[in-house]
Amino acid sequence: RKEVEQDPGPFNVPEGATVAFNCTYSNSASQSFFWYRQDCRKEPKLLMSVYSSGNEDGRFTAQLNRASQYISLLIRDSKLSDSATYLCVVTLDYGGSQGNLIFGKGTKLSVKP
Amino acid sequence: NAGVTQTPKFRVLKTGQSMTLLCAQDMNHEYMYWYRQDPGMGLRLIHYSVGEGTTAKGEVPDGYNVSRLKKQNFLLGLESAAPSQTSVYFCASSSLLANQETQYFGPGTRLLVL
């Protein structure tokens, strides 16, 4: 079983739609959770961290369910500029800076006019 | 503040040739990483460093060597390139401070080995 699994997509949605991405992780010792965004032929960039209580940043909402080892990202009112690949990322140690950042393969989103 | 920079941006090698990829960061980060990204495989960690003079193996270290002689630089070497090393290579850095573990990535180096 892969450590971090995501639906590869692509998700093709119209502008203004709400879209949800799911991610599961296999290691119950995972400590920190993130969503990164990667545009075509560009480097990954942090979109948002994911906290146990859930967190929101504008149109983006991230949720974590430790019992089910499940992370989600909800994008409301999709914009054309949201088109990208979204990477689910988990770490095994609290700091996440010991080389233990585990990336999912990403879910591709395409927002159409 | 340039963040994380990588050179070169693109390179074509013949099998058996060697090369060094350079990563530089100006954020005074302690940790640095080298990843490769292949279609359908996601990002995989090659080597990483938790400080000047120290390096460690990641998930796919074979065929690569690294050095961290200065805090701001992290070099990735290919001693004898193979077609299987055709990939996009990303360098990243992060702080050791708690709650600042975000990894910042460079723009990538596209390597083609013929």
Query: Does A97 contact B107 at a Cβ distance shorter than 8 Å?
Result: no
Q: For residue B78, give the nearest of B53, B49, B112 by alpha carbon.
A: B112
- Residue numbers of A between 59 and 98 with CB closer than 8 Å to B: 87, 91, 94-98
| Average pLDDT of chain B to the nearest whole number | 93
Q: What angle do CA B55, A103, A38 make, to 5 degrees?
A: 105
B85 three-state secondary structure: helix
pLDDT of amino acid A2: 67
Find the mean pLDDT for residues B13-40: 94
Q: In this predicted structure, what is the pLDDT of residue A32?
A: 85
Q: Indicate yes or no: CB of A97 within 8 angstroms of CB of B105.
A: no
**Residue of chain A minimizing CA distance to B96:** A97
Q: What's the rounded mean pLDDT across residues A14-30?
A: 92
Å between A9 CA and nearest CA of chain B: 12
Res. B98 pLDDT band, cuts 50 70 90: low
pLDDT score recorded for residue B42: 84
Of B41, B98, B108, the CB nearest to A43: B108
Cβ of B41 within 8 Å of Cβ of A97? The answer is no
Average pLDDT value for chain A:
90
Sequence-ordered list of residues with C-beta below 8 angstroms from that of B67, at least 6 positions apart, any chain: B55, B74, B75, B77
Interface test with A, best of B31, B33, B43, B50 (most A CBs within 10 A): B43
Could you tell me which residues are beta bridge partners of residue A49?
A34
